[in-house]
Structure 1
Amino acid sequence: MNKTESMLMNIAAITKVELCVIEEGKAENVLTGEKLSMDNGTIRSRIATILSGKSYPVIIIDDNNVFFACLKEKDTRFLLGPVCVRPLSGSELRKHYRLHHINPHIGHDPKVMAFTDFLNLISLISCTIGGKSYNHSELLALNNLPESLLLPNRHEQILFDLSADEDTSYHHTYMDEQSLLSCIREGRTDDALMHTMTLDTQIGRMSKKEYSHWTKLCAVSITLCTRAAIEGGLTPAQAYRISDFYMQKMDACQSIPSLISCRNQAITDLTDRVASKQNNIRTSSYVEKCRDYVSKNYMNKIKIGTIADSLGINESYLSRIFSRETGNRFQDYVNIVRTDRAANLLTYSEEPLAHIAEYVGFPSQSYFGKIFLRFKGMTPRQYREKHKPLEFTSITQS
């Protein structure tokens, strides 16, 4: 998988908007990995025909006020959608399925999002696949659509406000920002980049000019991540040297893709250094592989014997060297990782304790509480009450 494909997969996974890639007579849903039919009766084939010869993003609005977008890069076409500004009623959904020849038993309801967010997503994908971004007015003008679409009628606005009010939107943006900073403090580079891409689609406009907006957004991202890296263990001098380097590098950027790439390099550099700092105790390759396995599989049942078998060594031997070089028994280390992940969820989410316990791999809520108390010195509920951000508390209580 190349870098562009990886970024598209992350965008689809984060936004939950269907993204289909059409090339050489084949189509695939990036969100689900599903291979799609190219029958002439399908919406994908019809939109692929509509896009023939057009290199700019094409926006289609069907009779149900459901939106699609189609983009083209060389011989590959990208279909984005369906999206609508409010949930469809039962009759509207049936009409939607009939109109697009979709099996209602396997079809997905259109994603609900503001039209302006849909335009932002089109621009982000265009920038990812071809290096070209568009502002809202440009996308509307290219498709001969009225500017009034940026101001939904009163009926649609009320319905949209009911399904996704402004306070909730800002709340989720704040939560994603906190998740990003947690990833940097913990040295989790891949997760940090994924949360960064989430924020790219959620942050409000910082400037009416597209290039200026991305310049400011990237600068703010680097600044926030620098502070998180210091909290993760880097010295201020080291962190600010890295920040200054990438800020100066951004000054030489001539395009939005180069700005985003520079920003992502800065986040990768900072997070990798935090991870290196936190793992500066020399351990054997076997222990490193144990830690890597736990990091990727802590949500599932883990047995050191499984790891030992994959390494071709004795279980008892692996257990001894792990304890000697880390200072923790293997199962204790697994529980430390799980409680650390649970602590973040307790701080930055409203999920019930039972859901958090299950998510991080504990067999029951009671066992989760027992282990959490052992390693954190307080119960999960006490930890949540003590560490809940003030902004989060005020939102949930309002």
Structure 2
Amino acid sequence: MGIDKELELSLFHQREEQRRHMEYQKEFGFYRMIVSGNLKEIKRLYSSELLETASKNMENGVLSKDPVRNERYHFVVLTALITRLCVENGLDREKAYTLSDLYINKMDVCMDIAGILDIQREMVIEYTKQMAHLRKEDVYSIQVMKAIDYVYAHLNEKISVEQIADALRLNRSYLSELFHRETGKTISSFIRVAKLTAASNMLKYSDYEYSDIAEYFAFASQSHFTKCFKEETGYTPKQYRTRFYQPGEWNLTE
């Protein structure tokens, strides 16, 4: 049986047994915390039992039958993905890839899973710190920062300006004007771009169906998602995945 068929069969059995690689909310909520510089939540995640499953490869499956080697592989994949996402969200490329090399080299000398997970925590927190520093350089008001945080925390829901204003206990018109003045964007356009940026990452780095991605980010339909995505990127979701899909740059052989 070919690798592709074996993979499809394995994925089928995983779905049947409800053993998904990772729930959408957990996976992309985790990455969203990093790229938005949400250091408080990342530290809370790592200091609680919420990360117990994630610490064991975040339900990523088995890349090697050897437990330590398996953890090494997942560390490299996780670091590569975080590096790419941070670069795409404004982190200096040279700084991002220097950090990647640094932490992969630190991980490489670890001889047990506990040590690798400690380095993973250190790596994730450092990238989050870098993104937090980057966000502070934008010098937005506390109201606008809270509005941005609200958007990132609710990307998988239908979000309206009214909802954000109510959550922040602000007048809708005041918030809209303030947001546009400080960011140069309307709140609605910011929401749309944030959703489509996250969706583009799912297209590049996952095998989720287009309909699942559309549903996850609360688009009215797959056709609506396709229309919005093409308007923003110039590609349909299928064209984008065909052109930019990155299954992994690392040789994960045993």
Same fold (TM over 0.5): yes
User: Partners in 1 of 2:176 and 2:32 — Cα distance?
Assistant: 30
Deviations 1:245-272 (A, max 9, x none): 7845875x68542331222221331244
Alpha-carbon deviation of 1:383?
2.2
Out of 385, 390, 394, which is 2:242 matched to? 385
User: Partners in 2 of 1:229 and 1:367 — Cα distance?
Assistant: 25
Give 3-state SS (helix, strand or coil) of 1:301's partner.
coil
User: Partners in 2 of 1:200 and 1:352 — Cα distance?
Assistant: 18
Deviations 1:13-38 (A, max 9, x none): xxxxxxxxxxxxxxxxxxxxxxxxxx
User: Partners in 2 of 1:382 and 1:221 — Cα distance?
Assistant: 24
2:84 aligned with 1:228: yes
Alpha-carbon deviation of 1:213?
3.5
Gaps of 5+ in 2: 15-20, 46-50, 249-254
Alignment CA distance shift 1:353-1:383 (3 Å) = same
Alignment CA distance shift 1:276-1:363 (3 Å) = farther
Give 3-state SS (helix, strand or coil) of 1:318's partner.
helix
Out of 58, 70, 77, which is 1:198 matched to? 58
Instruction: Compare the two structures and name the one with the higher strand fraction.
Output: 1
Give 2:252's aligned residue: none
> 2:146 is aligned with what amino acid?
K
State, as a whole percentage, how many aligned pairs show the same letter.
Answer: 24
CA RMSD of aligned residues (A): 4.3
The 8 Å contact of residues 162 and 172 in structure 2, kept in 1 or not, is answered as yes
Out of 277, 291, 294, which is 2:151 matched to? 294
For normalisation by structure 1, the TM-score amounts to 0.44
> 1:290 is aligned with what amino acid?
A
Alignment CA distance shift 1:380-1:250 (3 Å) = closer
Alpha-carbon deviation of 1:185?
11
Give 3-state SS (helix, strand or coil) of 1:288's partner.
helix
Give 1:187's aligned residue: 35
> 1:317 is aligned with what amino acid?
Y
Alpha-carbon deviation of 1:329?
0.6
Give 1:29's aligned residue: none
Q: Which moved more, 1:371-380 or 1:311-320?
A: 371-380
Deviations 1:215-271 (A, max 9, x none): 8447745763675367442342565257537845875x6854233122222133124
Out of 164, 170, 174, which is 1:313 matched to? 170
Q: Which moved more, 1:182-191 or 1:337-346?
A: 182-191
Give 2:18's aligned residue: none
The 8 Å contact of residues 72 and 116 in structure 2, kept in 1 or not, is answered as no
Alpha-carbon deviation of 1:378?
2.7
Give 1:376's aligned residue: 233
Out of 328, 332, 336, which is 2:189 matched to? 332
> 2:142 is aligned with what amino acid?
S
2:186 aligned with 1:346: no
The 8 Å contact of residues 358 and 364 in structure 1, kept in 2 or not, is answered as yes
Out of 164, 167, 178, which is 2:7 matched to? 167
Out of 180, 204, 213, which is 2:69 matched to? 213
User: Partners in 1 of 2:193 and 2:244 — Cα distance?
Assistant: 18
Larger radius of gyration: 1
Give 2:130's aligned residue: 273
Give 3-state SS (helix, strand or coil) of 1:267's partner.
helix
Deviations 1:116-166 (A, max 9, x none): xxxxxxxxxxxxxxxxxxxxxxxxxxxxxxxxxxxxxxxxxxxxx9xxx74
Instruction: Compare the two structures and name the one with the higher helix fraction.
Output: 2
Alignment CA distance shift 1:196-1:215 (3 Å) = closer
Give 3-state SS (helix, strand or coil) of 2:138's partner.
coil
The 8 Å contact of residues 250 and 262 in structure 1, kept in 2 or not, is answered as no
The 8 Å contact of residues 210 and 222 in structure 2, kept in 1 or not, is answered as yes
> 2:35 is aligned with what amino acid?
G
Alignment CA distance shift 1:196-1:290 (3 Å) = farther
> 1:365 is aligned with what amino acid?
Q
User: Partners in 2 of 1:374 and 1:363 — Cα distance?
Assistant: 16
Deviations 1:28-70 (A, max 9, x none): xxxxxxxxxxxxxxxxxxxxxxxxxxxxxxxxxxxxxxxxxxx
Q: Runs of 4 or more off by more than 6 Å in structure 1? A: none
Alpha-carbon deviation of 1:289?
1.1
2:115 aligned with 1:258: yes
Alpha-carbon deviation of 1:301?
2.0
Matched length: 218
For normalisation by structure 2, the TM-score amounts to 0.64
Alpha-carbon deviation of 1:282?
1.4
Query: Mapping of 1:137-176 within 5 angstroms?
Result: 166-168=6-8, 169=10
Gaps of 5+ in 1: 1-160, 392-398
User: Partners in 2 of 1:235 and 1:244 — Cα distance?
Assistant: 14
User: Partners in 2 of 1:243 and 1:224 — Cα distance?
Assistant: 10
User: Partners in 2 of 1:198 and 1:358 — Cα distance?
Assistant: 23
Out of 102, 107, 114, which is 1:244 matched to? 102
Give 1:367's aligned residue: 224
